[in-house]
Amino acid sequence: MMKTKKERPSSKLLNRELFKQMINNGEIRGIKDVENILKDMFGNILQELLEAEMDETLGYSKYDYKNKDTDNSRNGYSKKQIRTSMGNMDISIPRDRKAEFEPRVVPKYSKDVSPSMEDRILSMYAKGMSLSDIRGHMKEIYGMNLSDETISRLTDRILPIVNQWRTRPLESVYAIVYMDGIRFKVLENSSIRNKVVYAAIGINMDGMKDVLGMWVSENESSKYWLNVLNELKNRGVKDILITSIDGLAGFEDAIKAVYPKTEIQRCIIHQLRNTFKYVSCKDKKEFAKDFKSVYKAVTKESAWNNFIQLKDKWGKKYPLSFKIWEDNWESLTAYFKYPQEIRTLIYTTNPIESFNRQLRKVTKSKSVFPNDTALLKMLYLVTMDVVKKWTMRQKNWASILAQLAVYFKDRVEVFS
């Protein structure tokens, strides 16, 4: 009587019994033996796939001459060593007399059938692993002897992609753009220099966030930011509604020179850091608590009134802390004109600060980069890992967009 499906032993059960038998026979003593067995199994599967492909090419299986309907036939094998996800492996590639066989599982002239070795190396490089760490990993796990120069050349293959990404066309309008710089150490002319990577993150009119670009320079300056802004314009950005920036001198003038209608909000968090550095440690806690009444006020008018009261209390002791607010009051308080949903998005450059922290998390093992190119390669790979997670539009974006339309009604074409 035929067994029902339920009564048939499962392949899992058969494998378990097979492994038990191998353990009892002393064929498996440790994890290395398991790896070797899996490697043999993988090699056998590859070999069977090649044989199946040859059967398909010729139209008949091996020794099945009754069903042969071709003047072509098998012609032995050629030996080939290939790289796989299980390490290096020797296999036999079937041949046919007319040389018509084109294997798909192990393509001709290909010696690597693992999930792209380059992808593996780039993934490790993007996680901040050094060249020597990658070399050791590839040797230990995949049995591949790769030099640092080979790994470096493999990662260099993404440079055209990096350049294409850095010069890609952008959207014509962005609702909000955050701009800030982050410092790295780079070896240049046999000396270590501090380099600034300029970064711009934009939220488009659909509420989606993206890194618009990254640029490397000697130091952060408003003149270089002017170059960055002109490049954004040349890449298609015709208008920006609001920018959120740090307090770099001349930065606002650079923005106005390229985008004269753009609203500028200086980052409150950057400003508070500058404010508190003039305050002694014994007063800092009380001073910081008092200052919340300024930047957390409901209206711009109440913020100014609270500021004057604080100045009466602390101004004589810490005049510089108040002067830097008075000199930049308009750009520091621009967010007060908007509803809370928009205020939350623009009063700080937190989105780009968060992005920079993710860059730091990966690059912290790199105390010094050998050159600007190596720095950009790694930052690009990290950026791609970050950006692929930005799949959701900003929360309550429909409501925010409707509010922006009211405050920027003079730019009707932006919302059409």
Confidence of residue 4 (pLDDT cuts 50, 70, 90): very low
Between 58 and 257, the higher pLDDT residue: 257
Which amino acid belongs to residue 135? R
Look at residue 14 in the predicted model and tell me its pLDDT: 47
Which amino acid belongs to residue 169? P
Query: How far is CA 319 from its chain centroid?
Result: 43
Contact 240, 174 (CB under 8 A): yes
**143, pLDDT greater than 80:** no
* CA–CA gap between residue 91 and residue 82 (Å, rounded): 8
Ranking 23-32, 49-58, 176-185, 310-319 by mean pLDDT, the lowest is 23-32
Residues β-bridged to residue 209: 203
Look at residue 105 in the predicted model and tell me its pLDDT: 67
* CA–CA gap between residue 179 and residue 197 (Å, rounded): 11
Residues β-bridged to residue 185: 194
Q: Within 13 Å, how many C-alpha atoms sit on residue 177's CB side?
A: 27
* CA–CA gap between residue 308 and residue 158 (Å, rounded): 55
Stretch 311-329: mean pLDDT: 95
Query: How far is CA 403 from its chain centroid?
Result: 31
- In this predicted model, what pLDDT tens digit does every residue of 66-104 receive, in sequence order? 777 888 888 889 888 877 766 678 888 888 888 888 887
Rg (CA), the chain: 32
412 phi, psi to nearest 5 deg: -55, -35
Look at residue 166 in the predicted model and tell me its pLDDT: 93
Pseudo-torsion of CA 355, 359, 364, 365, nearest 10°?
150
**130, pLDDT greater than 60:** yes
* CA–CA gap between residue 312 and residue 335 (Å, rounded): 25
Look at residue 5 in the predicted model and tell me its pLDDT: 42
Residue with structure tokens 């912290």? 364
Between 36 and 302, the higher pLDDT residue: 302
Stretch 167-174: mean pLDDT: 95
Contact 335, 342 (CB under 8 A): yes
Confidence of residue 413 (pLDDT cuts 50, 70, 90): confident
- In this predicted model, what pLDDT tens digit does every residue of 238-275 receive, in sequence order? 999 999 999 888 999 999 999 999 999 999 999 999 99
Confidence of residue 17 (pLDDT cuts 50, 70, 90): low
Between 379 and 12, the higher pLDDT residue: 379
Look at residue 330 in the predicted model and tell me its pLDDT: 95
Look at residue 142 in the predicted model and tell me its pLDDT: 61
Mean pLDDT of the residues in the chain: 85
* CA–CA gap between residue 290 and residue 302 (Å, rounded): 14
- What is the percent of the chain where pLDDT is above 70? 86
Look at residue 38 in the predicted model and tell me its pLDDT: 67
- What is the percent of the chain where pLDDT is above 90? 48
- In this predicted model, what pLDDT tens digit does every residue of 216-225 receive, in sequence order? 988 888 899 9
27 phi, psi to nearest 5 deg: -80, -20
Region of 232 on the Ramachandran plot (φ > 0 left; ψ -120 to 50 alpha; else beta): alpha
Closest CA to 126 of 390, 350, 388, 349: 388
**117, pLDDT greater than 70:** no
Residues β-bridged to residue 214: 199
pTM, entire model:
0.70
